[in-house]
Homo-oligomer: A and B are copies of this chain.
Amino acid sequence: MTAEVPRELLGSNDIAGLERWLAEHAPYEIADELARAEEVEAVLLFRLLDKDRALTVFEELDPVDQHKVLSGLRDRAFRDVVEGMDPDDRARLLGEAPAKFARHVLAGLSPRERGLTAALLGYPEHTVGRYMSPETVAVRHRFTADEALGVVRQRGPDAETVYTLPVIDERRCFLGTVSLRDLVLSPPDLPVAEIADGFTPRVRATDDVEEAARLMQDANLLALPVVDSEDRVLGLLTIDDALEVIEAADTEDFARQSAATPWTGHYMSASVVALARSRALWLLLLIVAATLTVNVLQFFESTLERITALALFIPLLVGTGGNAGAQAATAAVRALAVGEVRTRDVPRVAWRECRVGLLLGAMLAVVGLVIGTVIVEFTVAASVAVSLVLVCAWAATIGATMPLLARWVGIDPAVISAPLVTTLVDATGLVIYFLVARFVFGL
Protein backbone atom coordinates (compact mmCIF):
# COMPACT_ATOMS: atom_id res chain seq x y z
CA MET A 1 0.00 0.00 0.00
CA THR A 2 2.89 2.37 0.77
CA ALA A 3 5.50 3.43 -1.72
CA GLU A 4 8.96 1.94 -1.51
CA VAL A 5 12.28 3.78 -1.73
CA PRO A 6 13.71 2.96 -5.15
CA ARG A 7 16.54 0.48 -4.56
CA GLU A 8 18.68 2.16 -7.20
CA LEU A 9 18.67 5.44 -5.21
CA LEU A 10 20.04 3.66 -2.16
CA GLY A 11 22.42 1.54 -4.20
CA SER A 12 23.96 4.51 -5.99
CA ASN A 13 23.90 6.76 -2.90
CA ASP A 14 21.94 9.33 -4.90
CA ILE A 15 21.45 11.89 -2.11
CA ALA A 16 19.43 14.37 -4.15
CA GLY A 17 17.12 11.61 -5.34
CA LEU A 18 16.64 10.29 -1.80
CA GLU A 19 15.91 13.77 -0.46
CA ARG A 20 13.30 14.21 -3.15
CA TRP A 21 11.74 10.87 -2.25
CA LEU A 22 11.67 11.83 1.44
CA ALA A 23 10.09 15.22 0.72
CA GLU A 24 7.30 13.58 -1.25
CA HIS A 25 6.30 11.01 1.35
CA ALA A 26 4.44 11.16 4.64
CA PRO A 27 6.22 10.41 7.93
CA TYR A 28 4.43 7.07 8.37
CA GLU A 29 5.53 5.98 4.88
CA ILE A 30 9.12 6.91 5.63
CA ALA A 31 8.92 5.10 8.97
CA ASP A 32 7.68 1.99 7.19
CA GLU A 33 10.69 2.10 4.87
CA LEU A 34 13.11 2.59 7.78
CA ALA A 35 11.59 -0.45 9.50
CA ARG A 36 12.14 -2.62 6.43
CA ALA A 37 15.65 -1.36 5.70
CA GLU A 38 18.98 -2.68 6.99
CA GLU A 39 20.59 -0.58 9.72
CA VAL A 40 23.09 1.24 7.48
CA GLU A 41 20.44 2.25 4.97
CA ALA A 42 17.95 3.21 7.66
CA VAL A 43 20.48 5.52 9.32
CA LEU A 44 21.47 7.04 5.97
CA LEU A 45 17.83 7.85 5.17
CA PHE A 46 17.11 9.13 8.67
CA ARG A 47 20.07 11.53 8.62
CA LEU A 48 18.75 13.15 5.46
CA LEU A 49 15.58 14.32 7.27
CA ASP A 50 15.47 17.79 8.79
CA LYS A 51 15.20 17.93 12.59
CA ASP A 52 11.42 18.38 13.03
CA ARG A 53 10.53 15.84 10.42
CA ALA A 54 13.08 13.39 11.80
CA LEU A 55 11.34 13.47 15.17
CA THR A 56 7.89 12.87 13.66
CA VAL A 57 9.20 9.92 11.67
CA PHE A 58 11.05 8.58 14.68
CA GLU A 59 7.86 8.60 16.76
CA GLU A 60 6.18 6.39 14.18
CA LEU A 61 8.80 3.66 14.58
CA ASP A 62 8.53 0.61 16.84
CA PRO A 63 11.03 0.50 19.73
CA VAL A 64 13.12 -2.15 17.95
CA ASP A 65 13.49 0.06 14.91
CA GLN A 66 14.06 3.17 17.02
CA HIS A 67 16.95 1.35 18.61
CA LYS A 68 18.26 0.38 15.16
CA VAL A 69 18.23 4.01 13.98
CA LEU A 70 19.64 5.49 17.19
CA SER A 71 22.59 3.10 17.23
CA GLY A 72 23.83 4.71 14.03
CA LEU A 73 23.50 8.37 15.08
CA ARG A 74 26.29 10.55 16.39
CA ASP A 75 26.08 12.21 19.81
CA ARG A 76 24.46 15.51 18.88
CA ALA A 77 21.73 14.06 16.64
CA PHE A 78 21.25 11.22 19.11
CA ARG A 79 20.58 13.65 21.99
CA ASP A 80 18.20 15.80 19.93
CA VAL A 81 16.05 12.84 19.01
CA VAL A 82 15.96 11.36 22.50
CA GLU A 83 15.21 14.69 24.17
CA GLY A 84 12.37 15.37 21.73
CA MET A 85 10.55 12.06 22.29
CA ASP A 86 7.35 11.78 24.33
CA PRO A 87 8.12 10.40 27.80
CA ASP A 88 5.95 7.30 27.28
CA ASP A 89 7.62 6.43 23.96
CA ARG A 90 11.02 6.97 25.55
CA ALA A 91 10.15 4.74 28.50
CA ARG A 92 9.04 1.99 26.14
CA LEU A 93 12.23 2.24 24.10
CA LEU A 94 14.42 2.13 27.18
CA GLY A 95 12.39 -0.68 28.72
CA GLU A 96 13.21 -2.91 25.76
CA ALA A 97 16.79 -1.77 25.12
CA PRO A 98 20.00 -3.10 26.72
CA ALA A 99 20.75 -1.54 30.14
CA LYS A 100 23.94 0.12 28.93
CA PHE A 101 22.11 1.85 26.11
CA ALA A 102 19.35 2.95 28.51
CA ARG A 103 21.87 4.53 30.92
CA HIS A 104 23.53 6.33 28.02
CA VAL A 105 20.18 7.78 26.94
CA LEU A 106 19.09 8.82 30.42
CA ALA A 107 22.44 10.51 31.06
CA GLY A 108 21.99 12.76 28.02
CA LEU A 109 18.51 14.00 28.96
CA SER A 110 17.51 17.28 30.56
CA PRO A 111 16.53 16.86 34.26
CA ARG A 112 12.82 17.40 33.52
CA GLU A 113 12.61 14.79 30.77
CA ARG A 114 14.78 12.39 32.76
CA GLY A 115 12.41 12.71 35.72
CA LEU A 116 9.31 12.05 33.61
CA THR A 117 10.90 9.03 31.98
CA ALA A 118 12.25 7.58 35.20
CA ALA A 119 8.79 7.80 36.77
CA LEU A 120 7.27 5.76 33.94
CA LEU A 121 10.11 3.24 34.01
CA GLY A 122 9.27 2.71 37.67
CA TYR A 123 6.11 0.85 36.64
CA PRO A 124 6.42 -2.84 35.77
CA GLU A 125 6.35 -3.96 32.12
CA HIS A 126 2.92 -4.51 30.57
CA THR A 127 1.29 -2.06 32.99
CA VAL A 128 -0.58 1.07 32.02
CA GLY A 129 2.13 3.19 33.72
CA ARG A 130 4.65 2.29 31.03
CA TYR A 131 2.35 3.49 28.25
CA MET A 132 0.59 6.54 29.71
CA SER A 133 1.30 10.14 28.79
CA PRO A 134 2.12 12.03 31.97
CA GLU A 135 1.90 15.41 30.22
CA THR A 136 -1.84 15.85 30.59
CA VAL A 137 -4.09 18.88 30.81
CA ALA A 138 -6.50 18.41 33.72
CA VAL A 139 -9.26 20.92 34.50
CA ARG A 140 -10.96 21.80 37.78
CA HIS A 141 -14.64 20.94 38.04
CA ARG A 142 -15.45 24.51 39.20
CA PHE A 143 -14.02 26.08 36.02
CA THR A 144 -16.31 27.39 33.31
CA ALA A 145 -15.97 26.07 29.76
CA ASP A 146 -14.12 29.25 28.82
CA GLU A 147 -11.67 29.01 31.74
CA ALA A 148 -11.04 25.40 30.82
CA LEU A 149 -10.26 26.42 27.22
CA GLY A 150 -7.80 28.93 28.63
CA VAL A 151 -6.01 26.12 30.45
CA VAL A 152 -5.92 24.11 27.22
CA ARG A 153 -4.37 27.07 25.34
CA GLN A 154 -1.77 27.54 28.06
CA ARG A 155 -0.74 23.94 28.73
CA GLY A 156 -1.87 22.26 25.53
CA PRO A 157 1.36 22.66 23.53
CA ASP A 158 3.19 20.28 25.90
CA ALA A 159 0.42 17.69 26.19
CA GLU A 160 0.19 14.57 24.03
CA THR A 161 -3.57 15.01 23.65
CA VAL A 162 -6.07 17.73 24.54
CA TYR A 163 -9.20 16.03 23.23
CA THR A 164 -9.99 14.27 26.50
CA LEU A 165 -9.39 16.31 29.65
CA PRO A 166 -9.60 14.70 33.09
CA VAL A 167 -11.83 16.71 35.45
CA ILE A 168 -10.40 16.92 38.97
CA ASP A 169 -11.29 18.35 42.35
CA GLU A 170 -9.06 20.40 44.67
CA ARG A 171 -7.12 17.31 45.74
CA ARG A 172 -6.42 16.33 42.08
CA CYS A 173 -8.86 13.44 42.48
CA PHE A 174 -10.59 12.12 39.37
CA LEU A 175 -14.22 13.16 38.87
CA GLY A 176 -14.76 12.39 35.18
CA THR A 177 -13.67 13.75 31.82
CA VAL A 178 -14.69 16.54 29.51
CA SER A 179 -14.02 16.54 25.77
CA LEU A 180 -12.49 19.48 23.92
CA ARG A 181 -15.41 19.17 21.55
CA ASP A 182 -17.91 19.85 24.35
CA LEU A 183 -15.77 22.72 25.68
CA VAL A 184 -15.72 24.36 22.25
CA LEU A 185 -19.41 23.80 21.55
CA SER A 186 -20.77 24.76 25.01
CA PRO A 187 -21.74 28.27 26.13
CA PRO A 188 -18.52 29.83 27.54
CA ASP A 189 -19.88 30.32 31.08
CA LEU A 190 -21.23 26.80 31.60
CA PRO A 191 -19.43 25.06 34.51
CA VAL A 192 -17.26 22.14 33.49
CA ALA A 193 -19.03 20.00 36.10
CA GLU A 194 -22.21 20.22 34.01
CA ILE A 195 -20.70 19.08 30.73
CA ALA A 196 -18.35 16.48 32.17
CA ASP A 197 -18.99 12.76 31.67
CA GLY A 198 -18.93 11.03 35.04
CA PHE A 199 -19.17 7.55 33.49
CA THR A 200 -15.75 7.58 31.83
CA PRO A 201 -13.88 4.62 33.28
CA ARG A 202 -10.39 5.10 34.67
CA VAL A 203 -7.61 2.62 35.35
CA ARG A 204 -4.74 2.39 37.79
CA ALA A 205 -1.21 2.91 36.52
CA THR A 206 -0.42 -0.58 37.79
CA ASP A 207 -3.24 -2.25 35.82
CA ASP A 208 -2.57 -4.53 32.87
CA VAL A 209 -2.20 -2.41 29.75
CA GLU A 210 -3.84 -4.88 27.35
CA GLU A 211 -7.02 -4.96 29.44
CA ALA A 212 -7.01 -1.16 29.57
CA ALA A 213 -6.59 -0.97 25.80
CA ARG A 214 -9.48 -3.37 25.17
CA LEU A 215 -11.59 -1.32 27.58
CA MET A 216 -10.88 1.79 25.49
CA GLN A 217 -12.01 -0.06 22.41
CA ASP A 218 -15.19 -1.31 24.13
CA ALA A 219 -16.06 2.11 25.52
CA ASN A 220 -15.03 3.99 22.33
CA LEU A 221 -12.56 6.28 24.12
CA LEU A 222 -9.82 8.39 22.53
CA ALA A 223 -8.01 8.59 25.86
CA LEU A 224 -8.39 6.76 29.17
CA PRO A 225 -7.55 8.52 32.45
CA VAL A 226 -4.91 6.86 34.60
CA VAL A 227 -4.98 7.32 38.39
CA ASP A 228 -2.95 6.27 41.42
CA SER A 229 -4.21 4.28 44.40
CA GLU A 230 -5.81 7.43 45.83
CA ASP A 231 -7.63 8.22 42.61
CA ARG A 232 -5.37 11.14 41.73
CA VAL A 233 -4.86 11.69 38.01
CA LEU A 234 -1.40 10.65 36.77
CA GLY A 235 -1.90 10.81 33.04
CA LEU A 236 -3.82 9.49 30.06
CA LEU A 237 -3.51 6.37 27.96
CA THR A 238 -4.04 7.57 24.38
CA ILE A 239 -5.72 5.62 21.59
CA ASP A 240 -2.60 5.39 19.40
CA ASP A 241 -0.71 3.65 22.20
CA ALA A 242 -3.73 1.46 22.96
CA LEU A 243 -3.89 0.45 19.31
CA GLU A 244 -0.24 -0.52 19.35
CA VAL A 245 -0.82 -2.60 22.46
CA ILE A 246 -3.81 -4.36 20.87
CA GLU A 247 -1.97 -4.99 17.62
CA ALA A 248 1.02 -6.40 19.49
CA ALA A 249 -1.24 -8.56 21.67
CA ASP A 250 -3.09 -9.91 18.64
CA THR A 251 0.19 -10.61 16.86
CA GLU A 252 1.31 -12.45 19.99
CA ASP A 253 -1.93 -14.41 20.09
CA PHE A 254 -1.50 -15.32 16.43
CA ALA A 255 2.02 -16.53 17.07
CA ARG A 256 0.98 -18.46 20.17
CA GLN A 257 -1.94 -20.02 18.31
CA SER A 258 0.58 -21.65 16.04
CA ALA A 259 2.81 -22.63 18.98
CA ALA A 260 5.49 -20.03 18.32
CA THR A 261 6.94 -17.77 20.97
CA PRO A 262 6.09 -14.19 20.06
CA TRP A 263 9.09 -12.08 19.08
CA THR A 264 9.28 -8.33 18.76
CA GLY A 265 10.15 -6.69 15.51
CA HIS A 266 9.49 -6.83 11.82
CA TYR A 267 9.04 -10.22 10.11
CA MET A 268 11.30 -9.31 7.20
CA SER A 269 14.15 -8.01 9.36
CA ALA A 270 14.13 -10.94 11.82
CA SER A 271 17.06 -13.29 11.26
CA VAL A 272 16.61 -16.94 10.32
CA VAL A 273 18.02 -17.93 13.70
CA ALA A 274 15.62 -15.58 15.55
CA LEU A 275 12.66 -17.05 13.67
CA ALA A 276 13.82 -20.60 14.36
CA ARG A 277 14.37 -19.78 18.02
CA SER A 278 10.83 -18.40 18.35
CA ARG A 279 9.47 -21.76 17.17
CA ALA A 280 11.96 -24.27 18.52
CA LEU A 281 10.86 -24.61 22.13
CA TRP A 282 7.26 -25.48 21.32
CA LEU A 283 8.22 -27.88 18.55
CA LEU A 284 10.48 -29.67 21.01
CA LEU A 285 7.77 -29.90 23.66
CA LEU A 286 5.26 -31.06 21.09
CA ILE A 287 7.51 -33.76 19.63
CA VAL A 288 8.12 -35.06 23.13
CA ALA A 289 4.35 -35.02 23.77
CA ALA A 290 3.86 -36.78 20.43
CA THR A 291 5.94 -39.67 21.76
CA LEU A 292 2.71 -40.61 23.52
CA THR A 293 1.25 -41.49 20.12
CA VAL A 294 4.12 -43.90 19.54
CA ASN A 295 3.41 -45.53 22.91
CA VAL A 296 -0.29 -45.84 22.15
CA LEU A 297 0.39 -47.44 18.78
CA GLN A 298 2.94 -49.76 20.33
CA PHE A 299 0.35 -50.82 22.89
CA PHE A 300 -2.05 -51.69 20.09
CA GLU A 301 0.68 -53.16 17.83
CA SER A 302 -0.85 -56.63 17.84
CA THR A 303 -4.17 -55.24 16.60
CA LEU A 304 -2.29 -53.27 13.99
CA GLU A 305 -0.36 -56.34 12.79
CA ARG A 306 -3.57 -58.34 12.41
CA ILE A 307 -5.43 -55.60 10.55
CA THR A 308 -2.83 -53.47 8.73
CA ALA A 309 -5.62 -51.60 6.93
CA LEU A 310 -6.34 -49.77 10.20
CA ALA A 311 -3.01 -47.96 9.79
CA LEU A 312 -4.14 -46.42 6.52
CA PHE A 313 -6.65 -44.21 8.31
CA ILE A 314 -4.45 -43.03 11.16
CA PRO A 315 -3.42 -39.69 9.57
CA LEU A 316 -6.98 -38.99 8.40
CA LEU A 317 -8.47 -39.71 11.80
CA VAL A 318 -5.95 -37.86 13.96
CA GLY A 319 -5.80 -35.03 11.42
CA THR A 320 -9.56 -34.51 11.50
CA GLY A 321 -9.67 -34.67 15.29
CA GLY A 322 -6.85 -32.16 15.43
CA ASN A 323 -8.67 -29.82 13.05
CA ALA A 324 -11.89 -29.96 15.07
CA GLY A 325 -9.94 -29.29 18.26
CA ALA A 326 -8.01 -26.43 16.67
CA GLN A 327 -11.21 -24.74 15.52
CA ALA A 328 -12.73 -24.90 18.98
CA ALA A 329 -9.53 -23.76 20.71
CA THR A 330 -9.09 -20.79 18.38
CA ALA A 331 -12.71 -19.72 18.83
CA ALA A 332 -12.32 -19.88 22.62
CA VAL A 333 -9.00 -18.01 22.67
CA ARG A 334 -10.42 -15.20 20.55
CA ALA A 335 -13.68 -15.02 22.51
CA LEU A 336 -11.62 -14.68 25.71
CA ALA A 337 -9.37 -12.02 24.16
CA VAL A 338 -12.24 -9.79 23.08
CA GLY A 339 -14.12 -10.42 26.33
CA GLU A 340 -17.04 -12.47 25.02
CA VAL A 341 -16.38 -15.42 27.30
CA ARG A 342 -15.46 -15.47 30.98
CA THR A 343 -13.79 -18.27 32.88
CA ARG A 344 -16.94 -19.13 34.80
CA ASP A 345 -18.57 -20.03 31.46
CA VAL A 346 -16.57 -23.32 31.39
CA PRO A 347 -19.51 -25.71 31.90
CA ARG A 348 -21.70 -23.93 29.35
CA VAL A 349 -18.88 -23.78 26.82
CA ALA A 350 -18.01 -27.47 27.35
CA TRP A 351 -21.60 -28.58 26.85
CA ARG A 352 -22.07 -26.41 23.74
CA GLU A 353 -18.82 -27.55 22.15
CA CYS A 354 -19.52 -31.20 22.92
CA ARG A 355 -22.76 -30.93 20.94
CA VAL A 356 -21.02 -28.99 18.15
CA GLY A 357 -18.41 -31.76 17.99
CA LEU A 358 -21.07 -34.52 17.89
CA LEU A 359 -22.88 -32.75 15.04
CA LEU A 360 -19.66 -32.28 13.06
CA GLY A 361 -18.50 -35.80 13.88
CA ALA A 362 -21.77 -37.31 12.67
CA MET A 363 -21.45 -35.44 9.38
CA LEU A 364 -17.82 -36.50 8.92
CA ALA A 365 -18.65 -40.08 9.90
CA VAL A 366 -20.89 -40.38 6.82
CA VAL A 367 -18.03 -39.19 4.62
CA GLY A 368 -15.57 -41.46 6.43
CA LEU A 369 -17.86 -44.46 5.98
CA VAL A 370 -18.11 -43.91 2.23
CA ILE A 371 -14.37 -43.25 1.75
CA GLY A 372 -13.46 -46.22 3.95
CA THR A 373 -15.83 -48.65 2.26
CA VAL A 374 -14.71 -47.64 -1.22
CA ILE A 375 -10.99 -47.77 -0.48
CA VAL A 376 -10.84 -50.73 1.92
CA GLU A 377 -13.89 -52.49 3.36
CA PHE A 378 -16.92 -51.96 5.56
CA THR A 379 -15.63 -53.07 8.98
CA VAL A 380 -12.58 -50.80 8.85
CA ALA A 381 -14.80 -48.00 7.54
CA ALA A 382 -17.28 -48.53 10.39
CA SER A 383 -14.45 -48.30 12.94
CA VAL A 384 -13.30 -45.05 11.36
CA ALA A 385 -16.82 -43.60 11.26
CA VAL A 386 -17.66 -44.35 14.89
CA SER A 387 -14.26 -43.05 15.97
CA LEU A 388 -14.78 -39.81 14.05
CA VAL A 389 -17.94 -39.03 16.03
CA LEU A 390 -16.28 -39.66 19.36
CA VAL A 391 -12.98 -37.97 18.49
CA CYS A 392 -14.66 -34.82 17.16
CA ALA A 393 -16.84 -34.44 20.25
CA TRP A 394 -13.85 -34.99 22.50
CA ALA A 395 -11.58 -32.66 20.50
CA ALA A 396 -14.08 -29.79 20.41
CA THR A 397 -14.81 -30.11 24.11
CA ILE A 398 -11.25 -30.11 25.36
CA GLY A 399 -10.14 -27.67 22.64
CA ALA A 400 -12.60 -25.04 23.86
CA THR A 401 -12.33 -25.62 27.59
CA MET A 402 -8.54 -25.78 27.86
CA PRO A 403 -8.02 -22.06 27.09
CA LEU A 404 -10.67 -21.15 29.69
CA LEU A 405 -9.06 -23.39 32.28
CA ALA A 406 -5.68 -21.86 31.42
CA ARG A 407 -7.02 -18.36 32.06
CA TRP A 408 -8.60 -19.65 35.28
CA VAL A 409 -5.27 -20.83 36.65
CA GLY A 410 -3.62 -17.61 35.47
CA ILE A 411 -1.87 -18.74 32.26
CA ASP A 412 -2.26 -16.81 29.00
CA PRO A 413 -5.06 -18.75 27.23
CA ALA A 414 -3.35 -18.25 23.86
CA VAL A 415 -0.67 -20.69 25.06
CA ILE A 416 -3.25 -23.41 24.44
CA SER A 417 -2.34 -23.40 20.79
CA ALA A 418 -3.93 -25.31 17.98
CA PRO A 419 -0.80 -27.52 17.69
CA LEU A 420 -0.89 -28.29 21.42
CA VAL A 421 -4.55 -29.29 21.25
CA THR A 422 -3.84 -31.27 18.07
CA THR A 423 -1.00 -33.17 19.70
CA LEU A 424 -3.07 -34.04 22.76
CA VAL A 425 -6.01 -35.08 20.64
CA ASP A 426 -3.73 -37.27 18.49
CA ALA A 427 -2.85 -39.62 21.34
CA THR A 428 -6.31 -39.83 22.88
CA GLY A 429 -7.89 -40.11 19.44
CA LEU A 430 -5.74 -43.16 18.68
CA VAL A 431 -6.85 -44.82 21.92
CA ILE A 432 -10.49 -44.23 20.95
CA TYR A 433 -9.85 -45.54 17.41
CA PHE A 434 -8.23 -48.79 18.49
CA LEU A 435 -10.76 -49.49 21.24
CA VAL A 436 -13.58 -48.95 18.75
CA ALA A 437 -11.80 -51.12 16.14
CA ARG A 438 -11.25 -53.96 18.62
CA PHE A 439 -14.94 -53.81 19.51
CA VAL A 440 -16.07 -53.73 15.85
CA PHE A 441 -13.75 -56.62 14.93
CA GLY A 442 -14.72 -58.52 18.09
CA LEU A 443 -11.07 -58.75 19.26
Contacts and interface: CB of A to CB of B under 8 A. Distances in A.
A348 B311 CA distance: 39
A294 B298 CA distance: 20
Contact of A156 (B185, B247, B316): B185
Interface in A126-171: 149, 152-153, 156-157, 161-163
A304 interface: yes
A110 interface: no
A323 interface: yes
A360 to B, nearest CB: 5
Contacts of A8: none
Interface string A157-194: 10001110000000000000000110011000000000
A436 to B, nearest CB: 17
Contacts of A272: 352, 355-356, 359
B418 A364 contact: no
Given A26-B219, A319-B293, A356 B422 contact: no
B180 A156 contact: no
B330 A287 contact: no
Interface in A22-54: 25-28, 32, 36
Q: How many identical subunits does the complex contain?
A: 2
Contact of A301 (B180, B308, B364): B308
Nearest to A200: B26
Interface string A266-294: 11100011011001101110111011011
Contacts of A311: 297, 304, 311, 314
Contacts of A163: 163, 180-181, 222
Contacts of A284: 363-364, 367
Interface in A312-362: 312-316, 318-320, 322-324, 326-327, 329-335, 338-341, 345, 348, 352-353, 355-356, 359-360
A66 interface: no
B323 A283 contact: yes
Contacts of A251: 334, 338
A368 interface: yes
Contacts of A301: 308, 312
A423 interface: yes
Contact of A360 (B280, B298, B331, B341): B280
A439 interface: no
Contacts of A427: 315
A315 B433 CA distance: 13
Contact of A276 (B181, B326, B359): B359
A187 to B, nearest CB: 11
- Residue of A25, A253, A320 with highest tally of chain B CB at under 10 A: A320
Interface string A199-228: 111000000000100110111101000000
A430 interface: yes
Interface stretch (A9-17, A72-80, A92-100, A257-265): A257-265
Q: Report whether over half of chain A's contact residues are helix, strand or loop; otherwise say mixed.
A: helix
Given A1-B215, A257-B330, A352-B275, A268 B364 contact: no
Contacts of A313: 294
Contacts of A324: 279, 283
A260 to B, nearest CB: 5
Contacts of A367: 284, 287-288
Given A279-B327, A311-B314, A247 B217 contact: yes
A217 B243 contact: yes
- Residue of A254, A273, A332 with highest tally of chain B CB at under 10 A: A254
A25 to B, nearest CB: 8
A322 to B, nearest CB: 7
B219 A28 contact: yes
Contact of A314 (B222, B250, B314, B334): B314
Nearest to A364: B287
Given A217-B247, A294-B313, A367-B287, A418 B60 contact: no
User: Nearest 4 CB-CB pairs, A to B?
Assistant: A258-B330, A267-B335, A293-B315, A28-B219
9 contacts: A26-B199, A157-B185, A217-B247, A268-B335, A280-B360, A288-B371, A293-B319, A304-B311, A418-B418
